[in-house]
Amino acid sequence: MRRTRGRQVEIDSLEDFDRRLARGTTRLSGWWVHGVDLSGRTEQLAACDVAGASFLACTFADGDAERIEGRGAIVFPALPGVPVDPYRSRLYTAGELFDERPYAASLDARAYAWSRGPQAPRAMLARALHDHAIDEALTAWVGDRRLVGVMGGHALERDDTGYADAARLGRLLAAGHTVTTGGGPGAMEAANLGARLADRTEDEHGQALSELATVPSYHPTIGAWADIALDVLEKWPGETETLGIPTWFYGHEPPNVFATAIAKYFRNATREAILVQVCDAGIVFLPGVGGTVQEVFQDGCENFYADESSVAPMVLVGRRYWTETVPAWPLLRSLARGRPMEPHAHLVDTVDEAADLVESTTAGAGRP
């Protein structure tokens, strides 16, 4: 959501810049001018009070950047060799991340390769600025939406019954909430898919699952995995909003294309904390291993220290899995005992039960 009025104004085109000056604006305090070629606007900049204005990766005529800095503006330079825009003001779309074929040429692949390069100060600065910009964009995007998380294993393949279950869960939860996942493959993709196609018929939902199953995994070819998903969206362009929060730290796991908004971070620690915190309507945990278990107890920590008004539901799906295969439930239940979170921690067997619990327990609940 771009701010176009009030004390902070975001401008990302020369046309918008000129239009505002034509209205008689002479004081630019609070303006954030992003990526605009101002090399032909020396006179206009000289005529304005630029104190308090910020110019991010803009182009200036010789000497203009130094002159406006001397008059109180802040100039953030473009950072050459950086594949992402460290000053971006909005979340990603799948089309931006998968902008080129083959996959190795895409923005997503280029950004991952760059992130694995030397940790030079300029690259570290660019990554920090980028992740801060994603934080800001995500805060603006969330607004008053109620987000419910779905966490689960990245290795779940599209032809597995668990994938269909996760897609059904996303579909059910999307009726009253914005489904949010870690944005990757497996259970995350399935939940984003189910939510995205929530406005399509059950038959179309089933057809989409059948087509996706023809390329069950992103191994060995990410391109084929992503292409069939993009084909599914072209046939059944679901319009329901859904959010993915992936990371280039796990860049070998591509982002799924079914999230309508993608908050992709370089730092996984930042991403994990944000992923848990934004899910104010609770989180459903499907079977998973290391990453999912981490999220269970990261969410458990948030709820452990929360007061009654800030606890968000936790629903673990799969009694046998969470008590025997990966026995996280006994520990979670022990942590919850006697705390405000105790009545909000649940263990169920089916995704239908999980969706019903979220629906029945989120009224008035949620972390601020």
Sequence spans of domains, the chain: 9-76, 94-135, 143-361
Q: Residues 74, 77, 78, 81: is their CA dihedral positive or negative?
A: negative
pLDDT of residue 363: 56
Which residues fall within 8 angstroms of residue 44, CB to CB, at 6 or more apart? 21
pLDDT of residue 118: 86
List, for residues 157-212, the tens digit of each pLDDT value. Answer: 999 999 999 999 999 999 999 999 999 999 999 999 999 999 999 999 999 999 99
pLDDT of residue 8: 82
Q: 292 vs 68, 149, 279, 358, 366, CA distance in Å? A: 49, 12, 15, 19, 21
pLDDT of residue 120: 87
Q: 219 vs 12, 85, 153, 210, 231, CA distance in Å? A: 39, 29, 15, 18, 18
| φ, ψ at 69 (rounded to 5°) | -65, -40
Which residues fall within 8 angstroms of residue 165, CB to CB, at 6 or more apart? 190, 286, 350, 351
| pTM given for the model | 0.91
Which residues fall within 8 angstroms of residue 246, CB to CB, at 6 or more apart? 182, 183, 184, 253, 255, 262, 264, 265, 271
Alpha helices, DSSP H, located in 71-120: 94-97, 107-115
Alpha helices, DSSP H, located in the chain: 14-22, 42-47, 64-70, 94-97, 107-115, 121-142, 161-173, 187-196, 202-212, 222-235, 268-277, 290-304, 319-320, 328-336, 351-361
pLDDT of residue 3: 44
Which residues fall within 8 angstroms of residue 361, CB to CB, at 6 or more apart? 282, 313, 344
Provide the residue-wise pLDDT of the chain in tens; the chain has 368 residues: 344 444 689 999 999 999 999 999 999 999 999 999 999 999 999 999 999 999 999 999 999 999 999 999 999 998 989 999 999 989 999 999 999 999 999 999 999 999 999 888 999 999 999 999 999 999 999 999 999 999 999 999 999 999 999 999 999 999 999 999 999 999 999 999 999 999 999 999 999 999 999 999 999 999 999 999 999 999 999 999 999 999 999 999 999 999 999 999 999 999 999 999 999 999 999 999 999 999 999 999 999 999 988 999 999 999 999 999 999 999 999 999 999 999 999 999 999 999 999 998 875 444 54
pLDDT of residue 7: 65
pLDDT of residue 1: 35
List the one residue out of 197, 209, 224 whose CA is nearest residue 161: 209
Domain 143-361 coded CATH 3.40.50.450: yes
List the one residue out of 71, 34, 40, 73 whose CA is nearest residue 56: 34
Amino acid present at 182: G
pLDDT of residue 162: 98
